[in-house]
């Protein structure tokens, strides 16, 4: 069972989920997701590691940094302070996508304070392509009282499994795979809405950092997982084309998700150690979860069921607005998220 906890870093709440015993393994999620996404992996590793799944500042239940970050370095320094408070001595780091870039930068800044880096969905983008993607990849998703931003959120989550980048909808960028199920699109949309208007901050900072030159400079033992089912497999291959040092190895993983997970977990287990981690300075979540609770009037209609066209979100939103006429758009968004978490 995972244990939800908080620590206070620079006056901000950092939410994390603890599991298992053994050496410390910090797991860092993709944006705009949360630590919840990594719980299945953490559970499989919890007999061999003390797994620590963190919500990136500004995502999930973690406060944002309190300022607009200039670069990934702002997150790195925050994490360094958090690791010190948690009493992590040379932790293992796992990161996927955004999380992978946090792991790379942390290992570059503190090479003697990391045991091993595991990179999942880590890639390289050339400057020309990166600049082209940045023109339209992070649209404004500030909550609007009329709910119009929900249409854009559903467009993103509907295209995210069909194209990479999602905003380039030509054959050159088609993934040539079936549409992802509506339930999974709902899950992704929930994470976009939870992050809200600032969903892009860590996401963008990590994307700007996604360069092979940084991985090339790593001194820490590192494993790059080259999953052939990734939506960015082309760009993972671009990363692997760099002249990577001997301490950086790659492991090819099959398309099948179950077999992929099995092989990756087994590899991570073989790299564990006999160290023991004693986590310190964590706080139970009850008081903070209570503070975050919003009181709203639940509409007197059945909660709209998830639909393939995404219109259920607008229906639910409009019902909440009608029942809570004094709420801001941000209040309605929090209420919407809560309503869809109810049994």
pLDDT value at residue 335: 97
323 and 215 belong to one structural domain: no
Which structural domain, as residue segments, surrounds residue 178?
A: 142-198+294-339
90 and 228 belong to one structural domain: yes
Q: Is 115 helix (H, G, I), strand (E, B) or coil?
A: coil
159 and 10 belong to one structural domain: no
Q: Indicate whether 280 belongs to any domain.
A: no
pLDDT value at residue 1: 62
Q: Indicate whether 232 belongs to any domain.
A: yes
Give the mean pLDDT of 303-328: 98
Q: Indicate whether 246 belongs to any domain.
A: yes
pLDDT for residue 20 is more than 80:
yes
52 and 106 belong to one structural domain: yes
Tokens of 186: 């709902």
Q: Indicate whether 299 belongs to any domain.
A: yes
Half-sphere exposure of 182 (CA within 13 A, CB side): 9
d(CA 225, CA 220): 16
pLDDT value at residue 292: 75
Q: Indicate whether 203 belongs to any domain.
A: no
Give the mean pLDDT of 176-191: 97
Give the mean pLDDT of 234-251: 98
Tokens of 273: 């150690």
Q: Indicate whether 224 belongs to any domain.
A: yes
pLDDT value at residue 285: 81
30 and 163 belong to one structural domain: no
Beta strand 12-20 with 50-54 is antiparallel
24 and 151 belong to one structural domain: no
Number of domains in the chain: 2
Q: Indicate whether 26 belongs to any domain.
A: yes
Quickly tell me which residue has 């030159």 as its tokens.
213
The CATH number of whichever domain residue 51 belongs to comes to 3.40.50.1820
pLDDT for residue 343 is more than 90:
no
Tokens of 177: 């795979």
pLDDT value at residue 156: 98
d(CA 241, CA 87): 37
The pTM of the full predicted model, rounded to 2 decimals, is 0.96
DSSP code per residue over 271-288: T--S------S-B-SHHH
Q: Indicate whether 288 belongs to any domain.
A: no
Q: Tens digits of per-residue pLDDT, 92-127?
A: 999 999 999 999 999 999 999 999 999 999 999 999
pLDDT value at residue 278: 87
Q: Is 21 helix (H, G, I), strand (E, B) or coil?
A: coil
């Amino acid at each position: 069972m995972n244990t939800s906890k908080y620590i206070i870093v620079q006056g901000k709440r950092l939410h994390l989920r603890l599991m298992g015993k053994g050496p410390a393994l910090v797991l860092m999620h993709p944006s705009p997701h949360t630590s919840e996404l990594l719980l299945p992996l953490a559970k499989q590793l919890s007999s061999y590691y003390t797994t620590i799944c963190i919500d990136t500042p500004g995502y999930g239940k973690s406060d944002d940094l309190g300022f607009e970050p200039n670069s990934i370095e702002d997150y790195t320094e925050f994490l360094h302070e958090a690791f010190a408070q948690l009493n992590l001595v040379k932790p293992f780091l796992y990161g996927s996508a955004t999380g992978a870039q946090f792991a790379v930068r942390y290992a570059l800044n503190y090479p003697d304070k990391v045991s091993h880096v595991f990179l999942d969905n880590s890639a390289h983008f050339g400057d020309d392509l990166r600049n082209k993607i940045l023109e339209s990849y992070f649209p404004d998703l500030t909550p609007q009282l009329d709910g119009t931003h929900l249409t854009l959120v559903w467009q993103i989550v509907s295209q995210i499994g069909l194209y990479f980048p999602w905003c380039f909808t030509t054959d050159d960028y088609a993934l040539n795979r079936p549409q992802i199920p509506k339930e999974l699109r709902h899950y992704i949309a929930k994470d976009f809405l939870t992050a809200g208007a600032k969903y892009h901050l860590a996401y963008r900072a990590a994307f700007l950092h996604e360069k092979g030159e940084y991985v090339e400079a790593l001194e820490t033992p590192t494993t790059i997982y080259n999953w052939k089912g990734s939506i960015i497999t082309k760009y993972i291959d671009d990363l692997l084309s760099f002249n990577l040092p001997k301490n950086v190895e790659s492991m090819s993983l099959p398309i099948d998700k179950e077999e992929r997970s099995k092989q990756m977990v087994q590899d991570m287990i073989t790299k564990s150690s006999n160290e023991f981690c004693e986590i310190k300075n964590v706080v139970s979540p009850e008081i903070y979860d209570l503070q975050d609770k919003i009181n709203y009037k639940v509409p007197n209609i059945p909660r709209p069921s998830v639909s393939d066209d995404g219109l259920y979100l607008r229906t639910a939103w409009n019902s909440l607005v009608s029942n809570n006429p004094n709420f801001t758009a941000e209040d309605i968004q929090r209420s919407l998220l809560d309503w869809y978490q109810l049994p």
